[in-house]
Chains A and B, each alone.
Chain A
Amino acid sequence: MNRLLSVSCAVILAALGGGFSEESPTFRFTDWTVDSGIDFLHVTGASGQKYMIETMGAGAVFFDYDGDGDSDLYLVNGGVLPGFESTEPVRGALYRNDGSGRFSDVTVLSGLDFEGYGMGAASADYDNDGDADLYVTEFGPNRLFRNSGDGSFTEVAESAGVVNSLWSVSASWSDLDGDGNLDLYVANYLNFDFDNSPDCSQRKGEKILRSYCLPDAFQGVPDVLYRNRGDGTFEDVSRQAGVALGHGKGLGVVAFDYDRDGLTDLYVANDTTPNFLFRNLGGMQFRDVALESGVAYDGDGNAQAGMGVDAGDYDRDGDTDLFVTNFQGEFNTLYRNGKNGFFTDASSFAGLGLPSLRSLGFGTAFVDLDNDGWLDLVVANGHVLDNTAELTEGSSYPQRNQLFRNRGDGRFEEIRSAGPGFDVSKVSRGLAFADIEGDGDLDLLFMSSGDRPELLRNDGHSGNALRVLLVGRRANRDGVGAVLTFDLGGEQYITTEVRAGSSYASQNERIVHVSLGAETKVRGVTVQWPGSGKEVIGSLEAGELIVLVEGR
């Protein structure tokens, strides 16, 4: 059997073609930021002190805070740091979508006009009351905003028991014990504080250049797992659950069921230390199986500088693969799930190795942007050292974001010209997607450090798409962790999972988007609800948003 596989693999390799495409009529993105009404500036708080936190933010979340069926947007902001002066308060911003991709600032009205130093956010209906709540990760105490259901939020982190004052970056909601309540995993990064900020100057010829430190200058701090008690409060179960490992430097996290045993697992992208894959053993017990599953290191055993992460079934074989963004000079790593619990580093095979070497990746998403039924890849790029051009020849702080088209044969090709929205270089960090106008294609939001975000409207030629929103009854209300398998006919399937938190410090809209290409319907869909049963639903038509309520 292995020999047969070997032969076919070799044949495929022999037939592989080039790695990028100059022009693509199917991908065209327009910078829609100004037209959309979004007027936001990320503030790093930098004053020349080179505090490392300044260069690491921030993320963004698409979520439907007012329950009107379209995706609104929360943008995380930095804040004021010692030595930095600001006449204006520095705050994140909540933008309400009117359904046509035009947004209005409702930060003050919503009660999200707080000041801190934000890194990322993740949203979910943690109290199962029918509206979307919001968790914001910070350098400093994190915040949990409970949605009151009237367009406003109340900060409840302390009473809920989810403050976590370590430097947190990404968070992910998922029902890890199958009790119908969403638990919360928070990826914590380094033990930086203002009194523990070494001088990381670098020498360049005769000059000494003051620079941001790299993660080697600090110790990692353990991540935190909060179990949702179901009464609006949480308990920190990190130690008992086996996830409080001291040697991680967590930046990205994604929850997904990698072994399809019905229990949601967790993957953490660590910066310069081996990544974690926490296999859910049931009963809120986890074991790090990253090493034996092939996802701790790259294929050659290098611990890479993991930044962002996403999970998706890019090869449509029914299981979920992983993609991790890394430092400049390292490949971004595509881990192909081999069904036997073992992943293979397929970065080079898939054509994703070389094109990523000259960029420093942060946010990322498996997302079908041309509606051809195959998950493409987007990477938000930007260096962490603002003086990298002085330190390293050919390097630059702002960098171009990248789009890779999935060819459907296991290979990706870089799309070098995806319209004006992709032609700029910025210091990108967070990345999230949503169909902001409900027109059946997915739009992109890039967050930039110390800069304005970019909302890119998808104006390419697209196929048809199905949009599905799950509502759990026994399962958590958001259906987070549900695995959906769409039957396209002819033994063709698309499998996807509902997630709340991925990329880098960000979250995509919760609506499941399934592209059908030229087809107009699916023959059926199977929903495996988390901690609950399986449902088989009949034919669904592309077009309007379809709401699937568990058990109905």
Chain B
Amino acid sequence: MPAVRAPNWLGILVITLGAVPQSALLELRARTALREGRYVEALAAFEALVDQQPDNPSYHYGRGVALSRLLDHGAAAEALERVVALDPQNAPAYRQLVTVYSQLARTESTLSAFRKARSLESVPESMRLPLAQALRKRDLFEEAFSLLEGSSSPEGNLELGIIEMDRENYRKAAEHLQIAASDSIHSTATAEFEYGRCLELLGESEQAIEHYQRALEKDRNLGQARFRLGNLLIRLGDREAGLALLHDYEEFRRWDRKIQLLVAMIGSSGLPAAERKERTLELIDLLHQAGSFDEAERVIESGLARNPKDPLLRVALARTLDEQGKTEAARRELESVLSLPSPPPSAFWISGLVHYRAGQKPEALEAFLRFLELVPDPPALFFKQLGTLYAISGHFAEAETNFKRAVVKDPKDPKLHMNLASVLEQLGKVEEAQAEQDMARRLEGNP
């Protein structure tokens, strides 16, 4: 029996790897990045592939998809149009064009791309909902409806309900929306809101209130629900509660409007690069304040697509990642920025926060103190954070100093006075501590 030699796997692997062309590796990287949502990386890879093979429709397709995810719909449309010029039977490209044209408010093109996509092959199940949404946004109700007709899923019925609402068929809308909102535990805020809205239009005010309230429980930022509920309560005679909701709504609207304006400014072609960057950072900050971290991440990705090495954007990305619980990824971003010859001060501030949240007090303190060297007069928030860090580390005297600095800058923050009171108590300064406590209660309206 001849001896059977085990294959030399290592040798095979080495030979195989050696034979893999660079373009195949690049393609693998591009497709992986696209699949995993790393659109900036995907875009760069697909662009390199397009440079190598300008007539390969699949590279233009990948580039188009990445661009559309980065919200550059105009460039995405051009890339996808190149795909269908090279490969007129490419149904996925036509489907992508439906959503891109819809975003660009090109109604006729949306319809034409949809018809072409449908003529080439039946629309896959997974694509029906996004396509229906894109068509509905352009008032192409018949086409949108036809994609989802007969759907039994809550998502499908939500979309069907919205289509019927837009067509002003409220009775039919109610049937679909009832399904979408039937499971009050798992239903979405949008499903609850739309069902409430439909019921309100049908004159079912009490039920509408219930669904608006559920919508707000699920998403407190759903301004429309706040507004409609406020209006409805006033109409039904509960003026005080209704007015409170409407005033909240106005606050929300002002904030939302500012965000919309910034988005429009950033998207405008005439904006100088420096101002675009400034506005982008302003927008990211607003989104952070609102807790809209996914949205912030998209804006940052879009900014990085223009300036991949911008340190401020990378710091913003680190903060976003940290807020999303992706601490390791946040640290990697920060490390790369902090290794620059002159990193921006905000990198130290965010680095301090990331360490602080991870319980790494010495590292956090080091980063905060470095920030203070670079920004000698930071806002109250910084001193509050530094004071807290000192307090939980048992350094009460330093904590007192920093809380007092914060109080000078923001004398109306009751929590700050309460923190200061605790530290003073620890230091045995009882009367001073009592005075701070009194101040905190007064500021909270609870003397």
Contact = CB atoms under 8 A, between A and B. Distances in A.
A13 B202 contact: yes
Given A13-B202, A216-B261, 12 more contacts: A3-B206, A13-B203, A201-B269, A202-B268, A208-B270, A292-B239, A294-B234, A300-B227, A301-B249, A344-B231, A393-B106, A393-B109
Interface in B213-242: 223-224, 226-228, 231, 234-236, 239, 242
A430 interface: no
A170 B168 CA distance: 33
Interface stretch (A317-325, A350-358, A491-499): A350-358
A294 B78 contact: no
Contact of A13 (B166, B170, B228, B261): B170
Interface of B: 74, 78, 105-109, 139, 166-168, 170-171, 197, 201-206, 223-224, 226-228, 231, 234-236, 239, 242-243, 246-247, 249-250, 253, 257, 261, 264, 268-270
A340 B203 contact: no
Given A203-B74, A294-B231, A340-B235, A7 B203 contact: yes
Interface string A157-185: 00000000000000000000000000000
A203 B257 CA distance: 23
B228 A300 contact: yes
Contacts of B206: 2-3
Contacts of A353: 168
Majority SS at the chain A contact face? loop
Contact of A348 (B201, B226, B257): B201
Interface in A386-441: 392-394
Contacts of B168: 19, 348, 351, 353-354
Interface centre among B105, B109, B223 (most CB of A within 10 A): B105
A195 to B, nearest CB: 18
Contact of B204 (A6, A8, A342, A392): A6
A12 to B, nearest CB: 9
Given A13-B171, A354-B168, A202 B269 contact: yes
5 contacts: A2-B206, A10-B204, A208-B270, A342-B235, A394-B108
What 3 A-B pairs come out closest when comparing CB atoms? A301-B227, A9-B203, A6-B203
Interface size for chain A: under 10, 10 to 19, 20 to 34, or 35 or more residues?
35 or more
Contact of A299 (B204, B228, B239, B253): B228
Contacts of B268: 202
A388 to B, nearest CB: 11
A202 B105 CA distance: 15
Interface in A177-204: 199, 201-203
A394 B224 contact: no
B203 A5 contact: yes
A89 interface: no
A349 interface: yes
B108 A2 contact: no
A294 B242 CA distance: 11
Contacts of A394: 106-108
Contact of A291 (B204, B228, B246): B246
Contacts of A349: 201
Contacts of A348: 168, 201
B211 to A, nearest CB: 15
A545 interface: no
B250 A291 contact: yes
Contacts of A301: 223-224, 226-228, 249, 253
Contacts of A342: 231, 234-235
A346 to B, nearest CB: 10
B430 to A, nearest CB: 49
A393 B224 contact: no
Contacts of A74: none
A338 interface: yes
Interface centre among A5, A10, A201 (most CB of B within 10 A): A10
A231 B223 CA distance: 50
Interface centre among B74, B231, B235, B269 (most CB of A within 10 A): B231
Nearest to B250: A291
A303 B107 contact: no
Interface centre among A5, A7, A291 (most CB of B within 10 A): A291
A292 B203 contact: no
A8 B204 CA distance: 11
A9 B208 CA distance: 14
A10 B203 contact: yes
A297 interface: yes
B202 A393 contact: no
A282 B108 CA distance: 54
Nearest to A358: B139
A24 B327 CA distance: 69
A340 B243 CA distance: 15
A223 to B, nearest CB: 20
B270 A14 contact: no
